Amino acid sequence: MSWTSPLTAIANTTLTAAQWNTFLRDNMNAQGPAAANSAGSYLVTTGLNSLIMRTPGVDYQSISDSTNSTSFGDLDPPGGSVTVVTGVRALVTIGCQISNSTAGCGGRASIDLAGDTERPADDINVVGAESGTASDTFKLTWTTLYDPINPGTNIFSMKYRASIGGTATFSGRLMMAMPF
């Protein structure tokens, strides 16, 4: 429901039921308190005088897993994936702990976007670290704004790879998406 500019009052003029419903009832139902109907969600504008509720998504995977692949892929269990209904943008944060069994090597965790928008994991939206000695451990986060994306159901998933070799281990994997 969208908000409608109210009528200007004229002395001694009676409002019809349709005018009352359009300019009072419907406008009150288009305001924040009426549009907010789920705990933990927030309101965003979708256009002039129009609000919609959005719900953030969060996923945390405490189980660690490793890969020696230098191409982005899933771990077992995958972990770090959320499905959210978005408008044309979303603020996305990923985080994890990374180590590598080989000195001078590291790991990367990136964001893969699927659903109504398709963008594969890449080395631009990534958390990554290179170890000085074998098994150095780093705890990292990365936040980025996806703008523009296609409105609708979008799936943000973490993908992982070893940087240049060795075996990269990832734990405490966190994914959070705040749709707008």
Block mean pLDDT (10 aa), the chain, length 180: 83 91 87 83 88 95 96 93 97 98 97 98 95 94 97 98 96 97
How high is the pLDDT of residue 1?
A: 62
Res 46: pLDDT = 86
By the 10 Å C-beta count (0-12 exposed, 13-18 middle, 19+ buried), 14 is classed as exposed
- CA-to-CA distance for 96 and 74, rounded, in angstroms? 14
Q: Give the β-pairing of 65-67 and 168-179.
A: antiparallel
Mark out the alpha helices in 26-163 (DSSP H runs): 26-29, 32-35
Query: What residues does 121 pair with on adjacent strands?
Result: none
pLDDT at residue 34 in the model: 81
* CA gap 103, 124 in Å, rounded: 24
Q: Which two tokens stand for residue 31?
A: 């305001």
Tell the CATH topology of 56-179: Jelly Rolls (2.60.120)
| Three-state DSSP class for residue 19 | helix
Residue in this structure with the two tokens 């969600």, named with its chain if needed: 41
Distance (Å) of CA 73 to CA 20, 87, 151, 158 = 57, 27, 25, 8
Positions of CATH 2.60.120.760 in the chain: 56-179
Phi-psi region at 40: left, alpha or beta (left = phi > 0; alpha = psi -120 to 50):
left
Give the separation between CA 97 and CA 79, rounded to whole angstroms. 13
pTM listed for this prediction: 0.87
